[in-house]
Amino acid sequence: MPNGQPASDELHRIVPLGLTLGEARAWYMNHVLMPRIRLGLVAIAAGFIMLGSMLTPLGELLEATLVTTMMQHFLFFAVGVLFAYGVESSMLVASRLSSKASRVRALLGKVNLAVNKCGLLTFLAAAALIAFWYMPAQFDEASMIAYVHVEMDVTMLFAGGLVFVGCRFLSKRMKLIAPIVAGKLMGLYGSFLLLSPVTLYAAYPIYEQAEAGVVMMFLMLGLDFTIVPIWLYGYFGKNLPARRLVDLSQA
C-alpha cells in the first residue's frame, strides 16, 4: 500500500457505491480520517488542559480533604483515558497513511490479543496499581513527600490508559456491566472507610475518612440507578413480542 493512500479494503467497499477511486479516497479522508484526527487532537488537548489545571490553585484545593484528593486521582485517571484515545487515533490514522505503520499496528494488535484476553490483563494491572497507592503506608508517603505524590498521580494516569485499552475488548453489553462491577468494588471500599474504627490515612482525620466512604457509596448507587435501567432496556426492550394488528373492518 503506497504512502498517502487509505487501505485498499476500505476503498473497495466504497467504490461499488458509484464513486471513482479518487472520489472514494477523498470521501475516506474527509469522512473517516479527518473526524478521527479531530477527535484525537481534542482528547489530547483536553488531557493537557486538565493536567495544566493541577498547577493552578485548583490543584491545591483538590488536596485539601480526602474526598477532593480522590477526585484529583479520578481526574488523572480521566487524563490517562483521553491520552490513550489520542494515541489510538494517531496510530489508526498513521496505519491508513503508511504501510509500515499499518504493519506495526497490526503486530501490536496481535500481541495484545495474545496476552490480553478480554482485556483481563490490563484491568488487573490497573486495579493492582490503584490498590498499591491506596495502601495506607503508600498513601501517607505520597501525602507527605512531593515527588512520591507525583509518582502516584502519574500511576493514576497510566491506570486510566490501561483501562481504556481493556475496554476495547469488551462487548457492548459488557461495557455496561463493567462500570457496575467497578461501582460495587468502590462501594465495598467506601463501606470499609465508613465503618472502620481507626484512622487509615494519617494525613486525614477519621471524619474525612467517613465522608469519603459515604461519597463512594453514593457514587456506587448513582452508577446502579443510571446503568441498570439502560442495561435492562437494552436487554428486554428490543425483544418485546410484536403487537398483533387487529383488522376492525372484519369485526
Same domain, 1 and 23: yes
31: in domain:
yes
Sign of torsion over alpha carbons 144, 147, 151, 154: positive
| Spatial separation of the C-alpha atoms in residues 233 and 116, rounded to whole Å | 30
DSSP code of residue 243: P
Alpha helices in 98-171 (DSSP H): 99-115, 120-133, 136-144, 146-167
| CA proximity to 3, closest of 96, 108, 109, 116 | 96
Same domain, 116 and 145: yes
Sign of torsion over alpha carbons 40, 42, 48, 53: negative
The H or E element containing residue 250 is none
User: Total domain count for the chain?
Assistant: 3
| Spatial separation of the C-alpha atoms in residues 69 and 62, rounded to whole Å | 5
Same domain, 141 and 177: no
| Spatial separation of the C-alpha atoms in residues 19 and 35, rounded to whole Å | 20
| Spatial separation of the C-alpha atoms in residues 161 and 69, rounded to whole Å | 20
DSSP code of residue 200: S
User: What does the pLDDT look like over 114-162, one tens digit per residue?
Assistant: 888 778 889 999 999 999 999 999 999 998 898 999 999 999 999 999 9
User: What does the pLDDT look like over 212-235, one tens digit per residue?
Assistant: 999 999 999 988 888 878 877 776
Domain boundary among 152, 169, 186: 169
pLDDT tens for the chain, 251 residues long, are 444 444 444 444 444 456 677 777 777 777 777 888 888 899 999 999 999 998 888 888 888 899 999 999 999 999 999 999 999 888 888 887 778 888 888 888 888 778 887 788 899 999 999 999 999 999 999 988 989 999 999 999 999 999 998 888 887 778 878 888 888 999 999 999 999 888 899 889 899 999 999 999 999 998 888 887 887 777 676 555 544 444 444 44
Same domain, 3 and 76: yes
Same domain, 97 and 189: no
| CA proximity to 199, closest of 71, 66, 107 | 66
Query: Residue 65 sits in which domain range?
Result: 1-102
Residues 6+ positions from 169 with CB-CB distance below 8 Å: 116, 117, 118, 119
C-alpha cell at 139: 498513601
Domain boundary among 144, 169, 194: 169
91: in domain:
yes
244: in domain:
no
Same domain, 178 and 216: yes
Same domain, 183 and 200: yes
